[in-house]
Amino acid sequence: MSDLTLDFSTLPGDAGVQALRQQAVDTFTRTGLPGRRDEDWKYTDISRITGTLGETWWLPMPTEISVTEISDIEGLDAYRIVFVAGVFQPESSNLPDTIQLKPLSALLTEGADEPSHCLFKLDESAPLFNGFLATNSALASDGLCACIGKNIKLDRPLYVVHVGNNTAHVLNGLMLGQGAEVTLIEHFVGGDSAGAGLSNIATYLRLQDNASLTHYRLQMESAKQFHIGRVEVKQARDSRYTLHAVELGGSLSRTDIVVKLAEAGASCDLNGLFVASGRQHIDHHTRIDHAAPHCTSREQYRTVLDGRAHGVFNGKIVVAEGAVKTDSAQSNGNLLLSKNAEIDTKPELEIYNDDVKCAHGVTVGQLDENQLFYLKSRGLSETEARQLLTFAFADEILTAMDNNAIRRFIEKAAFAKLPNMTDLDGLLG
């Protein structure tokens, strides 16, 4: 596979960008795709992707995707940025004019633009670096690029919708200036064709001093789609990053979340929920680097797996020698609704100083028999009691969402997937 050349000659970008694309191709030629011998890919077999999409798995297939399918999230008031098969759609979008925001494609064709260069620059030493990221850098031609100025509080969330069952390499960059506040919603949905492709999405987020970013990442691809994601966050002093990652769709989905708490007082809060059924495979590898003193990290992941679904959670936290007064807590709860469902979960803590507070916990189980009996003794049927407990388990993650429109939307979407979970009117009332 590594002898195949990624062809970027027709892609936009000035000489600087093209040179970086060439470097990415060279890197890919050297590293190839990760295999199951790589510790970080032990439980996720990407031959499912290459086997389905073929030897030239990275190539978009020419298909028509109708944009009429894009459904809004009810009650969500936001700026909308739409990409179909990885291509920006100006007529479906509604951009804010108060901030510097452009699709990457526009930046690349408008000529030299230094900020967009840095998005293409790869750092092979970065945690969880892999060949998909190199491919993204070599082939990406569109995405979202925005810089939010100092002390700007964006009045509405940025709602970025990615539609399509095609293969697309999307590169996003968002920079928050000192004291800026933004909510970013990334929503991945399938189009109306039954085709399969790979969504290869890289999102780089930079938070300057005291900036605050709330990030919703909603993976709701169509059933045959493959999704490979990377979210890389770098946080300066006192900045705050909150992630709500929801994984509902796709055939195989793997996302790496890499957060660096680079300066004192920074904090991150990662919330993750997987609801998977059938033969879905969902994998999140998260990595939090405590590189400075007085930083706080919170991480809470829950998975609800039915059918033959396979979940993978790896949460690595590295506390550097100088990162004293670190306060870190991680928890991962897994609910297996079927005996054929599987979860591989691994918390990893590396701590290089003594002055830290780190807690972590993992649970794997079925519904609690005592709780079931309690509910039944109050008159709830077996089915109702199971529904309610499953809902409650997952909903604990969703309660952390402060955007009610999204929370409600996700609650409905998540629970529509599970058996006997259709009647939620009373519950969500």
Binding site for another protein (CB under 8 A): 368-371, 373-382, 384-385, 388-389, 391-393, 395-396, 399, 426-427, 429
Using the minimum distance from each CB to another protein, give the nearer residue, 69 or 384.
384
Specify whether the CB–CB gap between 317 and 356 falls below 8 A: no
What's the closest the beta carbon of residue 370 comes to another protein, in angstroms? 5
What is the CB neighbour count within 10 angstroms for residue 383?
12
Residue appearing with tokens 């957060």: 259
What's the closest the beta carbon of residue 381 comes to another protein, in angstroms? 5
What's the closest the beta carbon of residue 292 comes to another protein, in angstroms? 34
Using the minimum distance from each CB to another protein, give the nearer residue, 317 or 421.
421
Using the minimum distance from each CB to another protein, give the nearer residue, 111 or 426.
426
Sign of the Cα torsion 189, 195, 196, 200 reads negative
Specify whether the CB–CB gap between 225 and 190 falls below 8 A: yes
Length of the chain equals: 429
What's the closest the beta carbon of residue 389 comes to another protein, in angstroms? 7
What's the closest the beta carbon of residue 380 comes to another protein, in angstroms? 5
DSSP characters over 284-301: EEEEEEE-STT-EEEEEE
What's the closest the beta carbon of residue 346 comes to another protein, in angstroms? 25
Using the minimum distance from each CB to another protein, give the nearer residue, 356 or 398.
398
Using the minimum distance from each CB to another protein, give the nearer residue, 269 or 384.
384
Using the minimum distance from each CB to another protein, give the nearer residue, 83 or 393.
393
Using the minimum distance from each CB to another protein, give the nearer residue, 156 or 298.
298
Sheet strand arrangement including 100-103: 100-103, 144-148, 168-176, 198-207, 226-235, 252-261, 281-290, 310-319, 342-351
Residue 206 burial (C-beta neighbours within 10 Å; 0-12, 13-18, 19+)? buried
What's the closest the beta carbon of residue 396 comes to another protein, in angstroms? 5
Using the minimum distance from each CB to another protein, give the nearer residue, 101 or 414.
414
Q: What are the tokens at 356?
A: 């830290």
To the nearest 10 degrees (0 to 180), the angle between helices 15-31 and 131-139 is 150
What's the closest the beta carbon of residue 49 comes to another protein, in angstroms? 36
Residue 3 burial (C-beta neighbours within 10 Å; 0-12, 13-18, 19+)? exposed
What's the closest the beta carbon of residue 111 comes to another protein, in angstroms? 54
Question: Rounded to 5 degrees, what are φ and ψ at 162?
Answer: -110, 120
What's the closest the beta carbon of residue 301 comes to another protein, in angstroms? 16
Using the minimum distance from each CB to another protein, give the nearer residue, 352 or 373.
373
Using the minimum distance from each CB to another protein, give the nearer residue, 37 or 378.
378
What's the closest the beta carbon of residue 277 comes to another protein, in angstroms? 21
Within 166-290, strands assigned E span: 168-176, 181-189, 198-207, 212-220, 226-235, 240-247, 252-261, 267-276, 281-290
Question: Which residues on neighbouring strands pair with residue 226, listed in sequence order?
Answer: 198, 252
Using the minimum distance from each CB to another protein, give the nearer residue, 253 or 390.
390
Sheet strand arrangement including 212-220: 87-88, 79-84, 158-163, 181-189, 212-220, 240-247, 267-276, 296-305, 326-336, 356-365
3-state class of 245 per DSSP? Answer: strand
d(CA 332, CA 300): 6
Single out the residue of 123, 240, 101 nearest to residue 172, CA to CA.
Answer: 101
